[in-house]
Structures are given as structure tokens and as C-alpha cells.
A and B are shown apart, each in its own frame.
Chain A
């Protein structure tokens, strides 16, 4: 679990290997090294990275942040105010809002990371295949992407999530993950396709081909490493979007359900009592917004560093 998380936040992780080179100004720097020098000076990057690390810690070790049990709900405490033991007060069911908000990070991160990985795998395969082979494969797959993009995202997600969540005993994590995973890969595939196309015409690919490398080796060893940067950036931003989508689906009642603790469910439940007790609405909202913002800012900063032209 923790490994997949660091992999998804990769663009910040990968270039970290090369700060030594970066400091010697006279030495030519690689693209990643150059990007890292840029990033280190970027305040937004540090802000976003700190937030992301905090949220990941919350998801993996919620006990570090709270000792209260989020499922320990006593109706007598209904809408109780904030106190030393419950920082954000209690909700309608008498559960500790602070504990539930902390524990809610796990569902969001879990769904977000897994769905993004799924999208990433599909997008990578599609992007590599369309970009490398071109021709009719490209034509057919690109039309297929057009069709998927032609359907408004949330409408497709509603239909898919409803279908996958027909099992009333599950808490919906698998259903939402699959839904978001198979709807989110199109942009990543397009990005991958265009960078593969530009990479495959480079001299070093021609050289490798002349040395007798087959399509598999060319794609994996030569083209992929040189076209993966913008792909990973898109995935970082997609991770933020997926977390938002999870909350939206849960809010609508087709995402996580049952005993799952999710910010989306919390916002939906608290909405009915907002006049009496706004705290159970406000805090999950703030955490959700901060999480999405952190991932989008991180992706934005890394993209700027890797592609100065876009600035």
C-alpha cells in the first residue's frame, strides 16, 4: 500500500536522486535534474508536497492523529460541541467528527490511488500501442477514446457504479475503484500517445532498432523511459480528480456505503442538519478540498518544472 502511494507521487520522488549533480553548475544536467533544481525553488511545490505527505500519513497511520474510535458513536452526544477530547464536536449519530475526518482519508486515498493505478495501466498500454504502431490500430483506438470522451464523466460513472455495486454486502470500494479506473484513462493515454510518437522518431531509437532490438525492447527500454514524465504528471492530477469523484459518488449514494467512512458520505449526511450543527459538514469539506488541492498543485508544479514551455 505505502509503496504504491510513493509510486503515484513519483515525479517528486524520482529526480530526488540527483541533487548532487544539480549543484555543479558547469555540468550538463538531465531533464529530471533540471526539473528538480526548478522544483526546489518552488514554494508551491513544497507546500503541496508537505500536504500530500501529511495526508498519506493520515491514511496509513490514522492512530498517529487521533486516539478516538471513529465507530464509537453514542447517541446521547448528538451534535455535541467541540471539546478537548473531540476537537470538532460530535455529529448526528454522536460520532467524533475529528476521528471520522482523519479516518476518512484512508478511503479517499485508497480509492484514489488504486483507480489511478488502474487508469495508468490502461492508459499506458493504449498510449504505447497507438503511438508506437500507428496505422489502423491508432485509428481504431483513437476513435474509441473519442467515444468515451463523448460521454459526460459523472453520467457514465453513475451508470457504471450502480452496476458494479449491485452486491449489497460490500462497502463499495471495489466498485468505485473500477468505475473511476475505467473512465479516467483517456487523457493519460492521449498524453502517452503523443510523447511516444515524438520519442520514437529520435535517433537513439533508430540506433537501437538498427542494433536489432525488437518492438518490445524498443518500447520498454528506449521509448518508455523518455516519454513517461508528462504521463506521470497527468496521473498525479488525475489522482486529485479521482479523490474528488469518489466523494461526489459517495455523496450521491452510489459510491462508498455501508460502514465505510468517507468524506463524501459525511458531507451528504451532515447536509441535512447544517442549520443545527455545521461542524460535521465543514471539517470533512475542508480536508477533502485540501487533499484535492494538494495533488493538483503538486502535479501543476511538477509539470511546470518538466515543461518550461507551458509556463
Chain B
């Protein structure tokens, strides 16, 4: 186990540097003239140019520049957006909203997916099973740019069940519809995995033993089958985080949720390079850490899995 953790950490460090280097190189390298871009149309005096070059290390070789950027990031300094706000300040406001949104989405998705997945797995081939399979296929192929605006139109505007946009300080109620849309991204895979692992576990030896001991059907399914079927679902959460991040950018923009995705979207639209790089780097780190945690959790949940 210890060796596995060390190896995973090393791999994560590699991915982390690879990813941030990739982002940094693409966004900042080979820029025409960042100082002129900063000044716009106005001419720049030589002394100002020199001062700026020195301040932003523009004369240094590329790798050294990357090093300064990494040093800043690892000490919590993510730079300043073009509007002059500190990116770490913007994150402080944005993260709680996005985490709230993501948690609601994950909880709803997991609850629905596990319940219907278990039912579909027990009654394979039934009408319920076939209907859920078709529905998950449709949900799987609905892009979030279709799902989110249509949900807003139908449930927010036409039916008026939910507030169509969330606003500056979103309440739980206002976040519910965006969370449902976001959750639908992951619900289909979770449901299918639950269904197939329930179906598989129902045929296993320990279930036969439990039945032979005379345990009630409720206990066999509720304790023995369910526990073992949930293991693969947990690992899916790690993969899902990446999908949720992508989905959050679109969802938050459509429902005006002032979270990380919304800021990132605004950064893209206003060509705010530092903001995009800062936010993307943080999101990549979060993704890597969550995946590591989920992998470790996997081993803890399932004693059959031994990492060497």
C-alpha cells in the first residue's frame, strides 16, 4: 500500500508538471509583445518598458519564467487578472459556490442512480430495466449545451418551478436546477455501472450462501449485494469530477451561478489570459488530488484489492 501511494504521488507530480507546463507554454510563450498589449494603442517610453520587462521577468529564458510561475503558484500567488483583481481573491468567492453546486449534483445523481440501478439490476430484462437503459442512452448523448438551456427554458421560464438564474448569492433552491442538469452528466454511467454490478453480484457465491442461511431477501440485497455493488460506483466519482468541471463551465454560465466555471467563462470571453491559466491550473490540481483520494478509498473499501 505504501509503495503504491508513493508511486501514485510520483505519477501525480509528473502529470501536474506536464499539465501546468502545457497550459503555461500554450498561453504565454511566443506572445508577440505583451507590454504593448498591456498598453494598448499608446506608445511606451523606454524606461517603462525596461521596468515592466524586469518586473515580469520577460527577458529571462522560458524555463526560468515557468519556474517563477510555479513558485508563485505553489506559494498561493496565482497572479492578477487583467481587471486588476487578485486571482486568489476571486477563487475564494467562487469555490464555495461551485463546491456547493457540485455536491448537490453528486448527491442527487448518486441517490437516483443507485436506487434505479439496483432495481434495474434485480429485475433485468423487465420494462423498468429497458426504459432506464433507453433513458440513460438519451441522457448520455445529450450535450450539456443542449440540456442546460432547454432545462432553463422549460423548468425555469415556461413552468416556473425553479428560478431561471441564480444571481450573486445563490440559495439552495436556485442551485437545484443547475445541479440537476450537472448531475445528469454523471447519472447515466453511474446507473449502468450499478446495474451491471448488482446483476453480477446477485449470481455470486456469497449471495447464494446468504440465501442458504435463510436471510431475508431485503437483507441479502440491502446489505450483502448493495455494499459490494457500490465499490465501482465510488471510483466513478473520481472520473466524474473531470466531467463535472467541464459541465460546470457551461452550466454556471447559463444559470448565472457565480462559481469557478462562470469566472473561467468570463475569462475566456474577455481574453483574460492570466485568469484562464490560473483557474485551469487550479482545476487540474483539484482533479488530480481527487482522483488520488478516490483510488486510495477504493483500496480501503475493497479488501480484495491490494496495491503493491
Contacts and interface: CB of A to CB of B under 8 A. Distances in A.
B15 A159 contact: no
B37 to A, nearest CB: 12
Contact of A252 (B14, B152, B265, B280): B265
B268 A158 contact: yes
B25 to A, nearest CB: 9
B269 A253 contact: yes
Chain B interface mostly helix, strand, loop or mixed?
Answer: helix
B163 to A, nearest CB: 13
A160 B146 contact: no
Interface in A245-302: 247-248, 251-254, 264, 267-268, 270-271, 274-275, 278, 281-282, 285-286, 288-289, 292-293, 296-297, 300
Contacts of A254: 268
Interface residues of B, number: 44
A275 B137 CA distance: 30
A263 B8 CA distance: 41
B143 A288 contact: yes
B149 A248 contact: no
A143 B7 CA distance: 13
Counting contact residues on chain A (CB < 8 A from B), the size range is 35 or more
Interface in A151-166: 151-156, 158-160, 162-163
A300 B27 contact: no
Interface string A75-112: 00000000000000000000000000000000000000
Most buried by B among A155, A162, A275: A155
A252 B249 contact: yes
Contact of B145 (A162, A267, A282): A267
B184 to A, nearest CB: 13
A187 B276 CA distance: 27
B153 A155 contact: no
Interface in B26-58: 26-27
21 contacts: A150-B19, A152-B241, A152-B245, A152-B283, A158-B268, A158-B276, A159-B277, A240-B141, A247-B145, A248-B144, A248-B250, A251-B250, A267-B145, A267-B146, A274-B152, A289-B141, A289-B143, A292-B141, A293-B138, A293-B141, A296-B141
6 closest A-B pairs by CB = A154-B246, A244-B143, A152-B242, A293-B141, A150-B15, A285-B146
